Chains A and B, each alone.
Chain A
């Protein structure tokens, strides 16, 4: 079965940012994403998911490397300074390249 290389971009950030980020993704041409509620601890303290107000979300995007770079650059420029946010990338293989 043929496999196609893509990048998996994972962002963990404040729930308060979710809506704004989704608008950013649409503007950047992201075709799909998966969001899950998350909790954890980081440089800006511990975050619980039981109260949505202070929770975290984990957003996963599978896309081509060029778009992944653009998203990362955009988030770093606009959000890193003032928000709790981490972002990392991995190589993944997909079966249906037209979806991503």
Chain B
């Protein structure tokens, strides 16, 4: 039996504690601190790898990944409207959540690959950034139409200068500028403690996911079935794109995982103000209470095997 990464058990612990209504709670300042560390560490790690290997972002990769972000929402919108019979705003919100990405899931796949010594592209954090925004814009367009009234200026400002993008790109730039030797001084906190930070973060994620569970019942079977069925399908799309772009086996795993993941921070925040009539709990519950646990426990090992099969 393949052993589960210990960090995943922290998620399970948080989930169980939340379900059992334990008084376990991490103060929000701790959550902010831990997620800041995590985002910076991910960016820095990528930046250092970039400095070591050199090379930039091939244009085909930039275009392909942006296109993936724009394309994922369309079939999801269609399925949510057709099979799920969701109202248009809810279907569009779901499309935005699933087209966008979850940095927490990314952190888990990075941990997974690192533990197993599987190499992946240093520029992978850039993929997270490329995938985060387009789907949210696509989702808002699906809800509003082209002529709809949306305060795009403020919205795009919030999206592009959201803390996850600023910290990821900032970390990437610092890691790249410092290089492998220069970043040795910050190595203990950001690299050596990565798994410990991730464990704390996942403990909190477990508590947050548990808080979503009561709303699951209200949204019926569609949310559960969709939340479990969408990730593997999207992962195949991501993996095939990775293969077409000539990524490494680790890179294909990362891209498959990113495609399979659903946003639970950037998308809900943007959709809440841009499409207020969408039910915020529906997409968030699917993303947090179903898809996120599925991806980190079952999905990532599957996607890694898929990547190995494709590149083998």
Contacts and interface: CB of A to CB of B under 8 A. Distances in A.
Contacts of A92: none
A55 interface: yes
A83 B204 CA distance: 26
B248 to A, nearest CB: 34
A25 B264 CA distance: 28
B134 interface: no
A43 interface: no
B211 A53 contact: no
A56 B158 CA distance: 19
A53 B273 CA distance: 13
Contact of B273 (A20, A45, A50): A20
Interface stretch (B22-30, B167-175, B222-230, B253-261): B22-30
A95 interface: no
Contact of B272 (A16, A48, A50, A51): A16
B269 interface: yes
B276 A51 contact: no
A37 B265 CA distance: 18
A52 B25 CA distance: 13
Nearest to B276: A82
A82 B277 contact: yes
A49 B276 contact: no
A35 interface: no
A51 B273 contact: no
Given A45-B281, A51-B208, A16 B27 contact: no
Contacts of A81: 276-277
Interface in A9-52: 14, 16-17, 19-20, 23, 37, 45, 48-52
A24 to B, nearest CB: 12
Contacts of B211: 48, 51, 54
B32 A52 contact: yes
A52 B26 CA distance: 12
Interface in B262-302: 264-265, 268-269, 272-273, 276-277, 281
Contacts of B273: 16-17, 20
B269 A55 contact: no
Top 3 A-B residue pairs of the complex, sorted by shortest distance between their CB atoms: A82-B276, A16-B272, A50-B28
Given A14-B272, A16-B269, A16-B272, A51 B28 contact: yes
Nearest to B272: A16
Contacts of A23: 154
A27 to B, nearest CB: 13
Given A16-B268, A53-B269, 16 more contacts: A23-B154, A45-B215, A45-B281, A48-B211, A50-B25, A50-B27, A51-B28, A51-B204, A51-B211, A52-B32, A53-B264, A54-B211, A55-B28, A81-B276, A81-B277, A82-B276
A25 B196 CA distance: 43
A50 B276 contact: no
Given A82-B276, A82-B277, A83-B276, A50 B269 contact: no
